[in-house]
Amino acid sequence: MIDLRVLPLLLLPTLALAIDSVEAPNVPTTSPPSDEPEILRGLVDTLDQGSLQEAFRLLTKDYINHPDLDPLEVNRSALQGMLSRLDFGAMLLTEKSRSERDSPYDFYHLRLDPQTAYLRFGRFHEAGLTQLDEALAEFSAAADITALIVDLRSPQAQSDFSIASSILSRFCPPNELLFKIRRPGNERPTLFVSEPVAQSWQKSLLLLVDGETGNTGEIISAVLKRQTGCLVIGEKTPGLTVEYRDVAIGEDRILRYAIAEVVLEDDSSIFQVGIIPDIETATPKATKHEIYKAVQGGQPLTDFLFPPQRPHMNEAALVAGTDPEIDYYLLLSNNQPTPWDEPVPFDRVLVQAVDLLNTKSFLEPSKKIIVR
C-alpha cells in the first residue's frame, strides 16, 4: 500500500507538467501585498500608554487639519484601527454583507471516474446531512470507488458547530473527541465527540479548500487532516474558527465579534491562522464560480476537468490518410468561429486532485490503471 501523504514530494514536478500541458486559460498573477501595515503595527506596538496619549494630543492640536480631528473622528479612527488589528476577530457589517457570504450553491455529488467520487457542500444545515448520507450510500455501494474528493471551497456562512460535528462523524470512528469550544472565563470547554452513524466513509479522502472556505469547512479540514492524515489541496483558508455574536449598533450596522474559539483535541487553534494546504495551487475565484454556476445549471463537471482538445495530426491519421485538422483550418480560412476559440474554464485544483489519485492508482500494481 502506497502512503498517499508522501506522494506530493515525489509527484509535484510530474503533476505540474501534466497540468501545464492542458490547454487552459492563464491564471492571473497578483502582486504581493504591501508590508506597510505590518511595519506600522510594529512601530505602534513599541509605544507605551504615555506615548500613545502624546501622539493623540499632538495630532489633535498641531496637525495641519486638526480642527477635523474632533472627538467623533478620533473615535471613528480608533474603531477602524481596532477592527483592522483584530482582523477576523471583529468586523462591521451591513444586513446585505452579512447575507452575501451564504452559499448560492446546492449540495452536489457525482462519480468522476470509475474509482473517484466527488461531493461539494452547499449550505451547512440538517438537509445537507441527509444529502450527504445519500451520496455516501451511493458511493459505498460501488465497490470500485476507492477515493472521495470533498470540495469545501464554496462560500459558507457561519453555521452551527453541531453540523460540523455531525459531518465529521461520517468520516471518523465513533466516540472520538473531534474538537472543543473554549469560552473566556469558562475553564470547562464544550466537547464535540463523533457519534455512531448509519452512513460513513473510511476509504481514501482528499479535501479542497481556499480563501472562501468558512468556519465549518475549516473545522472539518483541520479535524480530518489530524484524524485521518488526508491530503488538503488548494489555497490557505482565512482562519474563521470562532463563534461570533452579532449586535446591531446603528442603522443597518452590525458589529460581529468573536466570543468563543474552536480548538482541536490538543488545544491547538487555527483562528486567524487557517488551514495550510499540503499542495498549494489556485483556481481563480471567478473561474471557480463560473464552473459552479454552470454545473448547478446542469452542465457536467467533467467538462471542466477534461476539456476536449482540438484534433491534431497523429500517426493514426497518417496511416488512414486523413487530416483531422482540416475542418478547423477551413473554419479559420473562412473567418468563421470554431469550437476552440473560447478556452474552457479550468478547475486547476480539482484536476490536480484527480491526477494525484490516478497517479496513486498507477503506482499500486493491484489497482486497475485508468487511461483517458
Q: How do residues 169-195 score in pLDDT, each as one tens digit?
A: 999 999 999 999 999 988 899 999 999
How many domains would you assign to the chain? 2
Are residues 116 and 68 located together in one domain of the fold?
Answer: no
Q: Is residue 108 domain-resident?
A: yes
- Asked if residue 41 and residue 157 are part of one domain, the reply reads no
198 and 49 share one domain:
no
> Which band of pLDDT confidence, cut at 50, 70 and 90, is reported for residue 324?
confident
- Containing structural domain, residue 81: 37-88
Residues 105 and 248 in one domain: yes
User: Is residue 335 helix, strand or coil?
Assistant: coil
Question: Rounded distance, CA 275 to CA 89, Å?
Answer: 17
Tell me: do 146 and 240 sit in the same domain. yes
Boundary of a domain, candidates 249, 280, 311: 280
pLDDT band at 34, cuts 50/70/90? low
- State whether 259 and 113 are in the same domain: yes
In sequence order, what are the residues at sequence separation of 6 or more whose Cβ sits closer than 8 angstroms to the Cβ of residue 322?
none
Residue 9 has pLDDT above 50, yes or no: no
- Kindly report which listed range (133-147, 283-297, 333-347) carries the lowest average pLDDT score: 333-347
50 with 141, same domain: the answer is no
- Per-residue pLDDT band at 64 (split at 50, 70, 90): very high
CB under 8 Å to 8, separation ≥6 — which residues?
231, 278, 279, 356
Report how far residue 74's alpha carbon sits from residue 68's, in angstroms, rounded to the nearest whole number: 9
Is the domain of 106 the same as that of 83? no
212-271 tens-digit pLDDT: 998 999 999 999 999 999 999 999 999 999 999 999 998 889 999 999 999 999 999 999
Using one digit for the tens of pLDDT, what is the confidence trace for 276-314? 999 999 999 999 999 999 999 999 998 888 766 777 777
Cell (9 digits) for 105: 450553491
Asked whether residue 32 is domain-assigned, the answer is no
Domain holding 189: CATH number?
Answer: 3.90.226.10
One domain, residues 165 and 215: yes
Q: Is residue 267 part of a domain?
A: yes
Query: In DSSP terms, which residues pair with 150 in a beta bridge?
Result: 119, 207
pTM: 0.78
Q: Is 272 left (phi over 0), alpha (psi -120 to 50) or beta?
A: left
Shared domain for 113 and 58, answered yes or no, is no
